[in-house]
Structure formats: C-alpha cells, structure tokens
Amino acid sequence: MRVAKIILIGLVLFALASWLTVYVYGRFAAQVRGAPSEALAVVENGTALDRVVAAQTARHPDMSGLRLVSDNIDAFAVRAHAARAAGRSLDLQYYYWRDDLTGSLLGREILAAADRGVRVRLLLDDINSRGDGDDIYAAYDSHPNIEVRLFNPAMSRDSALRRGIEMILRAVTVTRRMHNKAFIADGRVAIVGGRNIGDAYFGASDTANFRDLDVSMVGPAVGEASAIFDRFWNSPLALPIRSLSDPEQRSLAKLRARLDGLAASEPAQRYLSHLEEAANAAAERAAEPRYHWTTEVQVVSDPPEKVLDVGQQSWLDQAIKPVIASATRTLEITSPYFIPGDEGVLTLRTLVERGAKVTVLTNSLAATDVAAVHGAYAPYRETLLADGVDLFELRAESAPGRLSLFGSSNASLHTKAFTVDQRTGFIGSFNFDPRSIALNTEMGVLFDDAQLTAEVRREFATHIAPNHSYHLTLENGTLTWTGEPGAAPEYNEPGASIWRKFVATFTGFLPLESQL
C-alpha cells in the first residue's frame, strides 16, 4: 500500500511538472513569436524565373507542369540552379538540413541569393537542428535578407540535460515533428518530395546513399505549395531562431569563411566537377523542361496544428486513404518505413479480394537506416503474404542508377510514393507508418495523370527487379527471400548483421509501434 501511494504521488508530481512546463513553453512561444509574412507576389516579368516559367505556362493555361527528380545528382542540381536563378524569394522547408558537404554548398548558394537581394525564409524542424546547429542557423539568420525559424523547438538549447528533461516533460508534443520538404523559388518553381538536405540524398556519401524521389513543379501547384509554407511559417509553433540562440553565435563572417573554404576543398571540387554536367542539364531543362502538364494535381499537407493533436479531419491521411481504397486493378506502394497496422492490413486484404494486384516495396533489414522500424514491420510480413500482397525488400548492396559520386556505397530506400490503377499517383514525405499517420506533419503531391504515373511505375519496376530487391514468399509457411535468378533462396534477414537482427527483434517486443 505504501509503495502504491508513493507511485501515485510521483505520478501526480510528474503530471504537475509536465503541465507547468507546457504552460511556461506556451507563454514563452507567444512572447517570441515572429512577425507574420506571406509569399511575395508573382509578377509577369520581374525575375529570370518569372520570364522563363511564364513563357512555359502561357502555352498550358491553368495547368501545372510536373517532372520527376529521381537521380541524386540531378536532385542537387535542380535545387542549386533554382537558388541561382531566384531573383525575388526562396522559401525552404525541411525536416533537417545537414551541415555536411552538400548542405554547406547549398547554404552557400542561399547566401549568394540573399546577397543579391533575394528574401530567404528557412523553416526547419528543431529535432535535427539543436545544439551545435544553432550557431550555423543563427549566422544565416543574421543576414538582413534571411530569416530562420525552428518548428516546435525546445527552450533549452545549451544543456543536453535540461533539454532531455524538457523533452520528457513535454513528451506529448515534443515527439511530433514537421517532416515536410519543400524548396520554392520566386513562387515560380517548387521541389517537393522525400529528400532532406544532406550528402546521403545527393550522392555525396561514401558510406550509404538514399534512393529518393521528388517532383519539380511550375504553374498553379506552386501557389499551393507556397500557401502550405506560409501556414507553417506563421504558425505559433514556428519560432525565430534569434529568440533561441546566443547573440555571440551569430557570426556571418565566420560562416562565409567556412563555406568558402569548404567549397574550395578537394571533396567539394570533386563533387562540383562531376556535378557540372548535371547542372548544365538542369539549366537546359529549366529552359525547356520535360514537364507533364495537367490540371489534376494537388499539393496536400497536414496542418501545423497536427502536432497539437487537433483537427484530425484535415490531416493528410484523410486525403490519401480514399485514393488507396479506390484501387481496382493495381496498387504499388514504395515506403522506406512500412508498418501497416491492423487497419492497413485489412485495407490491403480487401483490395486483393476485390481483384487488385497489391505490391509493396520497403527496405530490407540490411538496407534500413532505422532497425527499430523494421522490428515493428517484420511481424506483419507473413500475414500480408498470406493475404496475397506481393512484398519486396530493397537490398543494401545494390541500387539502380548513379548513386554516389565517391565510389561504391550501400543503398537505402527513402522514396515515399504510391500509384493506383496506373493512373493516379502520390509522391511526398508520407511513410506508411503510425508516425506519419498520427504524429508528424507530412506533405506531398497527389496527381491524376497516366503519363506521369507510368514514369513513377517505371521507377518502381526498376527497384523491385531481382538484382536490386528480394522478393518475399512463404515456402511451406517459412518466410523466404529470393534474389537474382539462380541464386539460392535465403531464410533469415539476408545481409543483416547479428547486431541489427538483435535490435530489430528486441524492439519488436516493445510497445513502441505507435511512435514509429
């Protein structure tokens, strides 16, 4: 009885401390909230991008132009070119922006744009921007034409212990993150998809690179992306970094010197020399790109208020679920983190029973960058296969296309896309897991266009080919991985280390699925 009383008192004290922390945080956020601002108006002939894009869209009135960006080097090139071509504004929204080679090179492009008078708004989630990153982003923010805001940031910046305590006491909201990714130049060009900013997304890592997919857009869809950015930028959850950082951290001169030195380094020169061809190709595409033109496109997103667990009727999954449920012939899902849950299993089973061919591609245990997620996904495999779902797992040692400029590297799937009935498609940041459904904010591009969907399906077919992925089946009730023709089948997480197998198995027993 005494132990129970102590536990009860402890829980009450924790609840009070948690409530007080949330209350104090709310008052702090209200006091330091930045001034509202909106996307700058697009004009007919104001910037180089205005002139180029206006000429394109004039030939396709009321239509949006969409182009897939699958190649890692091309993905860097289109962003760098957009930053160089911008003459009015850059609105950039990311889950994280790594302070590595490609992150620094793009940062240098952003500084150059700001020096030309371009207004730059950079919105980053705080979960990957804390600690040592504050001085870098504070330095960017000190430029008169750049403002940096952090989404759902911690108040405690200079102490890991205090930050950890705050995260525990604010656990209800602190685990909910902004997972959106958008790069918008002059309100004319928008790049939306699965890529964050960092070497692993742009083929610059010598250890592991991601396979990912973006959509580059012009036309009315860009306005939709800008409206989503404005909603997040002006949210009470987005706080100016200048209110969180030490003024002594804000050294723009030091940042410039460091970025210039890095750009002159041997690794940067190697990357940029290989990039030159891709950059030239990107410039040519900007002049006459191979866009798919359509009116049937919508940029969709969770609202920022999702992290407060309100307004569920407007969450992104409410737009996606009916599209998936409408499949009658084919459903092809690419999701690096795939935890369908009981509801998802039932949905896929229903589609198969209806006669649709359902195919899913995700990471193998050897390829995933989050073994714990694999631990939550693994128990669903036998049920999915028994229900008739075709299941593939990307191999770590191989990936199609040009993956890294710096020699061989392992591959990990990061593309988040699906196609329905060879006509409708989605590309974005949304994983098929509980975190994307209920915790993080996500965004993407939903379209109804046969040609663009066919291009996404070709990417999918390349990835599930036997030389790139394992095909999972059940042999007499035993889970089996089959690779290239003639290769012996495998029966236990091929290519995965003992440690990875242990982590996945151990976390699979923990009640963590709702957080993954």
Percent of the chain at pLDDT > 90 equals 63
pLDDT at 39: 95
Q: Are strands 119-125 and 469-475 parallel, antiparallel or unpaired?
A: unpaired
The pLDDT mean for the chain works out to 88
| 204 and 302 co-located in one domain | no
Query: What value does the mean pLDDT take over residues 350-354?
Result: 97
Q: Which of the residues are catalytic?
A: 179, 181, 186, 414, 416, 421
| pLDDT exceeds 80 at position 283 | no
pLDDT at 129: 63
Count of structural domains within the chain = 3
Q: Are strands 89-94 and 119-125 parallel, antiparallel or unpaired?
A: parallel
Does residue 172 fall inside a structural domain? Answer: yes
Does residue 430 fall inside a structural domain? Answer: yes
Count how many residues are written for the chain: 516
pLDDT at 154: 82
Say if pTM beats, i.e. exceeds, 0.95: no
One-letter amino acid of 410: N
| 337 and 351 co-located in one domain | yes
Tens digits of residue pLDDT in 324-340: 999 999 999 999 999 99
pLDDT at 284: 54
| pLDDT exceeds 90 at position 274 | no
The 3-class SS string of 413-465 reads: ECCCEEEECCCEEEEECCCECHHHHHHCECEEEEEECHHHHHHHHHHHHHHCC
pLDDT at 1: 67
- Among the listed ranges 77-81, 122-126, 402-406, which one has the minimum average pLDDT value? 402-406
| pLDDT exceeds 60 at position 132 | no
pLDDT at 243: 87
Q: How confident is the model at residue 289 (pLDDT cuts 50, 70, 90)?
A: low
Tens digits of residue pLDDT in 498-510: 998 888 888 888 8
End position of a domain, from candidates 227, 260, 292:
292
**Do 45 and 71 meet the contact criterion of CB atoms below 8 Å apart?**
no
Does residue 38 fall inside a structural domain? Answer: no
| pLDDT exceeds 60 at position 256 | yes
**Do 481 and 393 meet the contact criterion of CB atoms below 8 Å apart?**
yes
Q: Residue 231 burial (CB < 10 Å; 0-12/13-18/19+)?
A: middle
The 3-class SS string of 193-238 reads: ECCCECHHHCCCCCCEEEECCEEEEECHHHHHHHHHHHHHHCCCCE
Q: How confident is the model at residue 25 (pLDDT cuts 50, 70, 90)?
A: confident
Domain ranges, residue 82: 65-292
* CB atoms inside a 10 Å sphere around CB 465: 13
Does residue 434 fall inside a structural domain? Answer: yes
Question: Phi, psi at residue 132, to the nearest 5°?
Answer: -60, -20
pLDDT at 422: 93
| 215 and 317 co-located in one domain | no
Q: How confident is the model at residue 279 (pLDDT cuts 50, 70, 90)?
A: low
| 115 and 250 co-located in one domain | yes
Most confident of 27-31, 45-49, 240-244, 300-304: 300-304
| 360 and 222 co-located in one domain | no
Alpha helices in 89-210 (DSSP H): 101-115, 133-141, 160-169, 171-174
**CA separation (Å) from 240 to 115, 148, 237, 254, 358?**
21, 6, 10, 21, 45
Q: Burial code of 107-137, b = ≥16 C-beta within 10 A, e = fewer?
A: bbbbbebbeeebbbbbbbbbbbbbeebbbbb
307 versus 159: which is more confidently predicted? 307
Query: What value does the mean pLDDT take over residues 398-427?
Result: 74
End position of a domain, from candidates 238, 259, 292:
292
Q: How far apart are CA 480 and CA 476, in angstroms?
A: 10
Tens digits of residue pLDDT in 218-233: 999 999 999 999 999 9
Does residue 51 fall inside a structural domain? Answer: no
| 82 and 203 co-located in one domain | yes
H/E element holding 386?
helix 381-386
Token pair for 381:
């495999």
Q: How far apart are CA 269 and CA 484, in angstroms?
A: 38
Percent of the chain at pLDDT > 70 equals 91
Token pair for 121:
């708004």
End position of a domain, from candidates 292, 307, 331:
292
| 367 and 487 co-located in one domain | yes
Does residue 56 fall inside a structural domain? Answer: no
| pLDDT exceeds 90 at position 64 | yes
**CA separation (Å) from 293 to 59, 192, 451?**
10, 16, 10
| pLDDT exceeds 60 at position 400 | no
| 98 and 226 co-located in one domain | yes
Tens digits of residue pLDDT in 167-215: 777 777 778 899 999 999 999 999 999 999 999 999 888 888 899 999 9
Query: What value does the mean pLDDT take over residues 286-311?
Result: 86
Tens digits of residue pLDDT in 445-487: 999 999 999 999 999 999 999 999 999 999 988 999 998 888 8
Does residue 120 fall inside a structural domain? Answer: yes
Contacts of residue 500, defined as CB under 8 A and 6 or more positions apart, other chains included, come to 365, 366, 371, 493
| 235 and 351 co-located in one domain | no
- Among the listed ranges 11-20, 93-102, 331-340, which one has the minimum average pLDDT value? 11-20
| 427 and 497 co-located in one domain | yes
Does residue 39 fall inside a structural domain? Answer: no
Token pair for 311:
């307004």
| 423 and 358 co-located in one domain | yes
| 274 and 304 co-located in one domain | no
Domain holding 107: CATH number? 3.30.870.10
